[in-house]
């Protein structure tokens, strides 16, 4: 399934752009792709204000022999980008991002990601799993994925993160997924991977940040619970939000039931956020995201 997906996508490219909004941008982009024998197969755009706001667009296109044409295409686009003061990125479906997953004791988010990956629904190569517990080793190694056990606590955090950073370089990782990894990352670690770390938080941020969210939600008598997936920054649980979801609950639901419902939400929210990142559907503006689903 994975190999057939790569073959199918070998001529698919993506162009993501942020610039000041003004008339003619879409026409300019369409003409550029037409002149380079490319067919637009998906296009999504958003403007903060049509009169002087910021314009965002994601275009997915098909181009025969894209691998042989991409260098010249990017070179030719530079003049357009300069003329319109564009921040832009070309991405190619056949250049699969390399992903690392960090996990602790609870493997349910890890297992969801592995299932999506096996099924061909995550356009990535999962190259390594790192954990501060041994429990997930069998699940991971049965799939032929390297597993590294690195005990972690606050007293040895520096040496732990040095080893983790070394492994990220060794495996040439593009994306780090915190699939219920229950260790706080230091600013030094985060600095190495800007907008490359996706976390799942077991509450509907900004409510119930920190420990024991379900217990605190139960004590508060909440009527909805949820989960939030976000990029990791140095502000704990306050990075740009990618996806959130909720379920309704009531007074009859115990803490155990709330946790069960919460785990289901966490799994699907994290999987969606990772999928959108891998498909280059997310643009970050300040501490917010524009997500072209």
What is the spatial distance between Cα 118 and Cα 177, in angstroms, rounded to a whole number?
17
What is the spatial distance between Cα 291 and Cα 293, in angstroms, rounded to a whole number?
6
What value, to the nearest 5°, has the Cα angle with vertex 110 and ends 199 and 153? 65
Kindly list the distances between the CA atom of residue 166 and the CA atoms of 161, 162, 181, 191, 192, in Å, as whole numbers in the listed order.
Answer: 8, 6, 18, 14, 11
49 is catalytic: no
What DSSP character marks residue 203? S
What is the spatial distance between Cα 293 and Cα 64, in angstroms, rounded to a whole number?
25
Kindly list the distances between the CA atom of residue 251 and the CA atoms of 71, 184, 257, in Å, as whole numbers in the listed order.
Answer: 60, 33, 11
Kindly list the distances between the CA atom of residue 47 and the CA atoms of 20, 25, 77, 87, 218, in Å, as whole numbers in the listed order.
Answer: 9, 12, 22, 15, 40
Per the residue annotation, which of 65, 237, 250, 253 is the catalytic one?
Answer: 237
CB-based burial label for 49 (10 Å; 0-12, 13-18, 19+): exposed
Q: Which of 112, 110, 150, 111 is nearest to 130 (CA)?
A: 150
Name the phi and psi angles at 41, rounded to 5. -110, -15
What is the spatial distance between Cα 187 and Cα 97, in angstroms, rounded to a whole number?
24
Task: Give the active site residues.
Answer: 237
């Amino acid at each position: 399934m994975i190999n057939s997906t790569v073959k199918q996508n070998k001529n698919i490219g993506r162009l993501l752009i942020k610039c000041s909004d003004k008339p003619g941008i879409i026409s300019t982009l369409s003409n550029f792709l037409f002149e380079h024998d490319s067919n637009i197969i998906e296009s999504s755009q958003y403007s903060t204000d049509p009169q002087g706001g910021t314009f965002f667009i994601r275009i997915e296109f098909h181009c025969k022999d894209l691998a042989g044409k991409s260098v010249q295409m990017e070179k030719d686009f530079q003049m357009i980008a300069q003329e319109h003061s564009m921040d832009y990125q070309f991405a190619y479906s056949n250049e699969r991002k390399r992903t690392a997953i960090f996990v602790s004791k609870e493997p349910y988010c890890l297992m969801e990601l592995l299932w999506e990956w096996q099924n061909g629904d995550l356009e990535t190569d999962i190259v390594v799993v790192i954990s501060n517990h041994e429990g997930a080793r069998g699940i991971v190694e049965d799939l032929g994925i390297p597993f590294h056990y690195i005990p972690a606590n606050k007293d040895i955090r520096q040496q732990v993160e040095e080893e983790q950073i070394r492994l990220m370089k060794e495996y040439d990782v593009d994306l780090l997924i915190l699939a219920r990894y229950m260790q706080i990352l230091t600013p030094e670690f985060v600095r190495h991977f800007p907008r490359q770390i996706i976390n799942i938080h077991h509450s509907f941020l900004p409510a119930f940040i920190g420990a024991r969210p379900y217990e605190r939600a139960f004590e508060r008598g909440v009527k909805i619970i949820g989960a939030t997936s976000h990029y990791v920054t140095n502000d704990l649980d306050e990075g740009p939000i990618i996806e959130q979801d909720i379920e309704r609950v009531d007074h009859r639901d115990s803490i155990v039931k709330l946790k069960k419902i919460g785990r289901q939400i966490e799994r699907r929210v994290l999987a969606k956020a990772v999928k959108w990142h891998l498909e280059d559907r997310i643009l970050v503006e300040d501490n917010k995201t524009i997500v072209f689903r």
